[in-house]
Structure 1
Amino acid sequence: MQKEYAFYDTVGIDFPLDETIEWVKTPCKGDFLVANYPEAEALIYAPEINFYVAQSEDSIAHKITNVAKLYAIRSVGFDFAQDVDYSQEVGKKLLIVTDESEHEALKSDLSEEMFTVMLLSPSMILDLNGHIGALHVTLKKEDELLELECDQVLWWNAPKFAMKQSGVYDPAVIGLEEALKTLRERTGEYHYKNYISYDPSICQYHERREEICGKCAEVCPTVAILKEDETKHLVFSHIDCHGCGGCVSVCPSGALDYTQMPRLAFTHLSDYFRESIALIIPNKMDLGVIDIPLREGVLPLMIEGEKYLHEAHLLNLLQTSGNPIVFYTDFISKGTGDVIRILNEIFEKKYHKKAIYVCETTEELASVFETLQSIPECCYGINEAGLRKREIFSARLAHVVGEEDLGVVKTGEHVHYGDMSIDTDKCTLCLSCVGACNVRALTAHPEDNSLRFNASICTNCGYCEVTCPEKDCLHVIKDEIHLKPSWFSQRIMAHDELFACVECGKEFATRKSVEKIVAIMTPLFMGDDVKLRTLYCCADCKPKVMFRAHMETEMKEVKNG
């Protein structure tokens, strides 16, 4: 039977491999899913396998198990991936934007490669939009506005707005040789994927009367996510997406997920790190420079998008492994950075230990390996199937807190949690706030006519406050996590008894809502007893009361002749 995993021995290993792995003695190409060397042309190249074998201080028995785990971890991402392959035809219309005259020679060289090359000064360009293979340039020439189309652009010292479009390369940043290599590789049929999946039903921006959220578009380094202000719809351009995942880490509700590693996939992946220390390394980082021993129990985790990890991911990994997490990276995203600070504060309060370390250099990494302490007391497991991001984090964090009161942790600019207060004297239980909440933090309970709230799954968006029709009734408390049991359970925020129709006895509204309407309408009805009585009637009885009064009036008029 054909094996999916290939291992080409380039480091001289002295231990046997798991039976699921085919040991390749010489470089070859095969129908493999995962391989430890690029020449195998497997679907997935996993450089962390050779890195682990060469640097790990684990025993031979653990190395045998862990090498198999590294292959399986990569397989999990492949099995659960939700990405779709797309392609775009990219022609040879090339625009070079520069003030340097020597680039005429570059234009000539590229023309020999059958590129149609246009050379423009940056001062002429007013706007650039579109995407690779279909870029549209607005320029001004002698007071005349012109439009031109091209497939790709070389722009020295390109402005920020230009670099947001796919197909634009700045040789001043990446070097001319790399820029030319990239545009040549992308000429013809350009293949790309959707890195982001989207659930508008829990989006905090989608079709809301006011802009409550929009963090994803704010942190996107390209034009892959745009906001349509009129309709309050998000528009996704997958061809412009770099796959960094920054939008996922700041999405408050979990409406965005990373297709290369969906939350369910990460749950399965975490199982391979039980009793191991996860060393997270973005794929862009060079493993070759980490020339230090890997402490016993350390297992590398290579991730595709360096910015997508959020609080549900990281707390899952902490509670599954029972060990701190180590990041080796030169960049931490805004969302992930907030989460790391929050989790470190919580773990310091509870366990007096650090949860997550961030290392930019091998020296920092070596120092952390010497000092970090395991956290077996944090271990906890839940079934995450069917749960949303906030619900996962709530259930896991509730276990950390237990029955204690650990105080308050402030959240940050990009990750929001909080609380709310309701003036029960003003609340009529109209339930507008429940309709406004699409993450199930606010719920109505007809069994006892109550309005309940779970702070731990609230996104702190404030849309309930905007929606509430009563003045100064509902207030959102911003950016606080209260580390006490009551913060994780449903609290009754308002309660009332039902009012029975004075005609038929059917309960049709809360007493407070009826009293409010009566207070508003009584002055307007100016002592009209019939109209006043309708205020205490259900919808079915109101017209009956009015009709009966009308008929009685007519009968009196007939009698009085």
Structure 2
Amino acid sequence: MAKEYVYYDHLNLEIPLQDHIEVVKTPLLGEQCLVTNHPDVPSHLVAPEIDFYLQHSQDSLLDKALNASTLFEARALCYDFSQDSDFSQEVGKNILLVGEEEALSDLKQALKAKGFAVLVVHPSEVAMIEGHLGALHVTLRQEDALHEVDADQMVWFEAPEFALRQSGVLNPEKNDIAQIVEAIEAKTGTHTYKNFITYDPSICQYHERREEVCGKCAEVCPTVAIVKLDDTKHLQFSHIDCHGCGGCISVCPSGAVEYAQMPRRAFYEIAKLYQDKTALIIPRKMGLDALHVSLPQNVLPLGIEGEKFLHEAHLLTLLQESGSSVVFYTDFISKGTGDVISILNQAYEKMYGTKAIYVAMNEAELIQALQEVGPIEGTRHGIQEDGLRKREIFSARLAWAVGEGDYGTIQAGEHVRYGTININEEACTLCLSCVGACNVRALTAHTSDNSLRFDASICTSCGYCEATCPEKDCLSMERGEIALNKGWFGQRIMAKDTLFECVKCGKPFATSKSVNRIAAIMAPLFAGNDTKLKSLYCCGDCKPKVMFEDYLKEREKATL
């Protein structure tokens, strides 16, 4: 039986690794191991950060051996908690070339020689592209008529943005015919892929809402992997089109979209492995082979797949579980992650007088960041995250850091928004429409004292409560700031009332304000009819009884 962890010592580092890691001098063939450091070894997961750490770390040999085991374990946790599945798509040999017929003649002949069926159309004829790799549906405009053409792949030099959002559309950077044909052949046959994201519609702030207050995931998606269906307010996912960048995850306010390869639970367990260490986050696209920097003692790489999925709960969890500031080595910061980094850096500067996240976009910046990053005294903290959503995790951790202090306010971002609501208690009838509208648990109802409560620290400021409130000038939303004081965290009472008791049976059935509000509206219509007026103050069970009793009395009078 193959071991879980295999280290291929292709660099002849002669590091004395722990016994549960099998060290080999030549790549093993046959059964896959779970995690390895090199792609030549058959495995489920490759962790190039292991080689990078062992080559460049200034840690002692003993610490290197221990930390290498940690890096193997971190990748294994991703496997244990991953929520991805394997999919496949058959890709045939129908190719659509977009361009001038004469300019594409050589490419057309080269593809035909390889057995491809080729159709050439002019760019002005392409009206719409739908579908995906292996199943593209192209609408052509020819002689004032629309025609449908199916293709497995398209080649379009200098293709417009709308075309490049579809998988299966190739936009060659060079006119090298052999390379183009090779790229097309590479995707022909059975194309395998995975889902990079999972989705929970029950907490999505776009799904089936009467008004659109969100849709950020579709807005930031560089492809057509996420599309809004505005008629039904549903999201449509095309996993074959997904690049796995994770940008949708970092901007999702409620946590409805999750990264399948490293779910939040996996990230939490991995973060705990970095206790008393300094994490250097490195996305896979940032190739480590050409990176030559010295890693100070106790700096440990954290390899991730996508570069854009890190959100507020991820980063504050890592900061507090490690008790250290963090370096993020990436050449691109997504809109959501950028907002989170700004929020955390503002907070840490006010609370601890230092930066939380150091972003390094090239080797020179990385060298500088590694000189500045390190432990932050008094910041290590662990919580139990099970059952908490991402905003709730961030709130609980930030509240602990604030403690009894008051550090003023910091600015939230454009894509990671916070806010607060104002309620006119005189106008509020505690109908609780706003509670039903809030799917992040920021607004809650409490029967113990008939109150409506609000927690600003988990509010996403989507504004759906404002759109849902039926009362005029009752509820309004303010966006922008996070308050670093104890009062901002946790629930505060926004409105409360007494319960009204049914005048017939004595059972409480609604708030006094709501009963009196309805009665004030209906009383003029029921003027002169004591029974109808009385029914306004009855519960749902007694209302028909009162009306029926009155009917029987009137009928009895009529027969006398």
- Alignment TM-score, normalising by the size of structure 1: 0.96
Structure 1 residue 67 and structure 2 residue 68: aligned?
yes
Q: Which stretch shifts more, 543-552 or 85-94?
A: 543-552
Q: Displacement, 1:26?
A: 2.5
**2 CA distance for matches of 1:173 and 1:503?**
84
Q: Supply the AA of the counterpart residue of 1:377.
A: G
Change (3 A) 1:173 1:486: farther
Question: Residue in 1 aligned with 2:443?
Answer: 442
Q: Displacement, 1:100?
A: 7.3
Change (3 A) 1:368 1:100: farther
Q: Supply the AA of the counterpart residue of 2:352.
A: Y
Change (3 A) 1:181 1:277: farther
**1 CA distance for matches of 2:554 and 2:143?**
84
**Which residues in structure 2 correspond to 1:492-511 (within 5 Å)?**
492-511=493-512
Q: Supply the AA of the counterpart residue of 1:21.
A: I
The CA deviation string for residues 537-559 of structure 1, in whole angstroms up to 9 with x for no partner, is 22233233333444444555556
| Contact 2:278–2:374 (8 Å) recurs in 1 | no
Q: Displacement, 1:61?
A: 1.3
**Which residues in structure 2 correspond to 1:22-421 (within 5 Å)?**
22-31=22-31, 32-99=33-100, 101-172=102-173, 179-421=180-422
Question: Residue in 2 aligned with 1:11?
Answer: 11
Q: Supply the AA of the counterpart residue of 2:322.
A: S
SS at match of 2:267: helix
| Contact 1:85–1:192 (8 Å) recurs in 2 | yes
Q: Percent identity?
A: 57
Q: Displacement, 1:14?
A: 3.9
Q: Supply the AA of the counterpart residue of 1:288.
A: D
**1 CA distance for matches of 2:177 and 2:254?**
42
Q: Which stretch shifts more, 507-516 or 171-180?
A: 171-180
Change (3 A) 1:181 1:49: farther
**2 CA distance for matches of 1:481 and 1:173?**
49
Q: Displacement, 1:177?
A: 6.3
**2 CA distance for matches of 1:86 and 1:543?**
58
**1 CA distance for matches of 2:448 and 2:27?**
69
Q: Displacement, 1:293?
A: 0.6
Q: Supply the AA of the counterpart residue of 1:500.
A: E
Change (3 A) 1:178 1:296: farther
Gaps (5+ residues) in structure 1? none
Q: Displacement, 1:173?
A: 7.5
| Contact 1:353–1:373 (8 Å) recurs in 2 | no
Q: Displacement, 1:427?
A: 0.9
**1 CA distance for matches of 2:142 and 2:451?**
68
| Contact 2:420–2:478 (8 Å) recurs in 1 | yes
Change (3 A) 1:541 1:173: farther
Q: Displacement, 1:134?
A: 0.8
Q: Supply the AA of the counterpart residue of 2:230.
A: D
Structure 1 residue 487 and structure 2 residue 488: aligned?
yes
- Alignment TM-score, normalising by the size of structure 2: 0.96
Q: Supply the AA of the counterpart residue of 1:133.
A: G
Change (3 A) 1:37 1:547: closer
**Which residues in structure 2 correspond to 1:511-522 (within 5 Å)?**
511-522=512-523
Q: Supply the AA of the counterpart residue of 1:118.
A: L
Q: Displacement, 1:140?
A: 2.4
**2 CA distance for matches of 1:530 and 1:142?**
74
Q: Displacement, 1:241?
A: 0.9
Q: Displacement, 1:351?
A: 0.5
Q: Supply the AA of the counterpart residue of 1:157.
A: E
Change (3 A) 1:322 1:528: same
**1 CA distance for matches of 2:542 and 2:483?**
48
| Contact 1:514–1:535 (8 Å) recurs in 2 | yes
Equivalent residue pairs, number: 559
**1 CA distance for matches of 2:445 and 2:52?**
54
| Contact 1:250–1:415 (8 Å) recurs in 2 | yes
**2 CA distance for matches of 1:251 and 1:232?**
16
Q: Displacement, 1:227?
A: 1.1
RMSD: 1.8
Q: Which stretch shifts more, 546-555 or 465-474?
A: 546-555
Gaps (5+ residues) in structure 2? none
